[in-house]
């Protein structure tokens, strides 16, 4: 393996990579109970998925940095590198992340948690098919079709997170979530939502990373033994890896990607949605984003019509 830590590798070695963010945004995690909202907040804040109990009131945390992440197939070198980095860089803004309880009885309180927010993270437990219908009901009745929330107060940006991807077995796919929650229809123009997306994450699990780490350490020890190193020398080296590994805040579970997407979407929801629609359309389709980001025009590949953000339809040759 040839990896050797010098005295320069002493830990902890965190250092800031740029200035901390000054702008603040407000985001709320919603979803039925047990979908992983509290785990996500604390995983992101503390780097651990704590033991949770159903949230009755709410939690709120200010997040200003990305947690460091390891690639799924990480090496011991990756662990040292990620630990030296300290964190995955500052966010462009501080996110005040609210976590509201999702038990049916207290879902009517969601109306209070979405006042003046920039975005919603809506969690779905993708390992629990039995509660998919309830996830839909909560999304519709307590949020998007809730008559107590006027359209102007509906969140403009929604990121639906298909959580618990690490749980083995038959996952509910992203497409199934889109269909079950009727996202295309519910979040269409006029709903108040400008930009939405579904992404897979595992907010609350360490298990695969721990297993990989244990395997790498075993290989490392065997190799050093074969090279004639003493047990004391080997345990000294292994302790350095253990310190680095413990200091890491988060594993590769999709959360960095999700937060990056969220920040981009909040900055310019119309452009972000156009980007998504563009990716989903035929290569011949043309998406034009108004520079002031107030409208999107899509000329379909058959050259028939265009659609604007306001819902107006016009001839393709007008763009």
Ligand X SMILES: Nc1nc2c(ncn2[C@@H]2O[C@H](COP(=O)(O)OP(=O)(O)O)[C@@H](O)[C@H]2O)c(=O)[nH]1
Would you tell me which residues interact with Mg ion (CB under 5 A)? 37-38, 55
Residue 35 binding target from Mg ion, ligand X, none, CB below 5 to 8 Å by type: ligand X
Which residue in the set 28, 34, 209, 297 belongs to the binding site for ligand X (CB under 6 A)?
34
Q: In terms of C-beta density within 10 A (0-12 exposed, 13-18 middle, 19 or more buried), how is residue 42 classed?
A: buried
Least distance in Å: CB of 124 to ligand X? 10
C-beta of 37 vs 224, nearer to Mg ion: 37
**28: contact with ligand X by CB under 6 A:** no
What does the per-residue mask of binding to ligand X show for 81-120, with x meaning CB under 6 A?
Answer: ---------------------x------------------
In three-state secondary structure terms, 111 is helix
Quick one: angle between helices 76-85 and 207-226, nearest 10? 120
Residue 226, token pair as written in the block: 């074969």
Strands 157-163 and 119-125: parallel
Total of chain residues touching ligand X, rule CB under 6 A: 21
Which residues, at least 6 apart from 26, have a Cβ–Cβ distance to it below 8 Å? 95, 96, 98, 116, 117, 118
Which residues, at least 6 apart from 301, have a Cβ–Cβ distance to it below 8 Å? 281, 282, 283, 284, 285
Least distance in Å: CB of 253 to ligand X? 7
Of 105, 92, 91, 174, the closest CA to residue 138 belongs to 105
**209: contact with ligand X by CB under 6 A:** no
Residue 203 binding target from Mg ion, ligand X, none, CB below 5 to 8 Å by type: ligand X
Which residue in the set 12, 16, 20, 54 belongs to the binding site for ligand X (CB under 6 A)?
54
Q: Which residues are near ligand X by CB under 6 A? A: 31, 33-39, 49, 52, 54-55, 102, 163-164, 166-167, 202-205
């Amino acid at each position: 393996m040839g990896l050797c830590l010098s005295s320069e590798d002493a830990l902890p070695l965190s250092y800031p990579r740029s200035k901390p963010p000054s702008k603040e945004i407000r985001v709320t995690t919603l979803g039925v109970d047990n979908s992983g909202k509290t785990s996500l907040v604390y995983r992101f804040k503390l780097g651990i998925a704590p033991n949770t109990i159903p949230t009755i009131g709410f939690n709120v945390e200010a997040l200003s940095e990305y947690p460091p992440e390891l690639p799924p197939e990480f090496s011991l070198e990756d662990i040292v590198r990620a630990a030296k980095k300290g964190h995955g860089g500052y966010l462009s803004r501080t996110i005040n992340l609210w976590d509201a309880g999702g038990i049916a009885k207290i879902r009517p309180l969601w109306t209070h948690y979405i006042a003046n927010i920039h975005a919603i993270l809506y969690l779905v437990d993708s390992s629990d098919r039995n509660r998919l219908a309830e996830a839909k009901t909560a999304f519709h009745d307590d949020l998007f079709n809730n008559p107590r929330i006027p359209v102007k107060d509906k969140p403009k940006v929604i990121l639906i997170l298909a959580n618990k991807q690490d749980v083995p077995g038959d996952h509910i796919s992203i497409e199934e979530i889109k269909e079950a929650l009727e996202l295309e229809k519910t979040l269409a123009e006029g709903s108040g939502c400008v930009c939405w997306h579904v992404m897979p994450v595992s907010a609350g699990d360490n298990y695969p990373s721990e297993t990989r780490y244990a395997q790498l350490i075993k290989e490392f020890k065997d190799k050093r033994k074969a090279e004639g190193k003493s047990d004391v020398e080997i345990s000294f080296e292994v302790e350095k890896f253990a310190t680095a590994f413990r200091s890491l805040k988060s594993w590769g579970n999709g959360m960095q990607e999700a937060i990056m997407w969220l920040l981009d979407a909040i900055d310019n929801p119309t452009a972000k949605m156009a980007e998504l629609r563009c990716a989903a359309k035929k290569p011949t389709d043309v998406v034009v984003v108004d520079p002031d980001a107030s409208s999107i025009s899509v000329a379909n590949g058959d050259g028939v019509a265009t659609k604007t953000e306001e819902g107006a339809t016009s001839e393709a040759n007008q763009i």
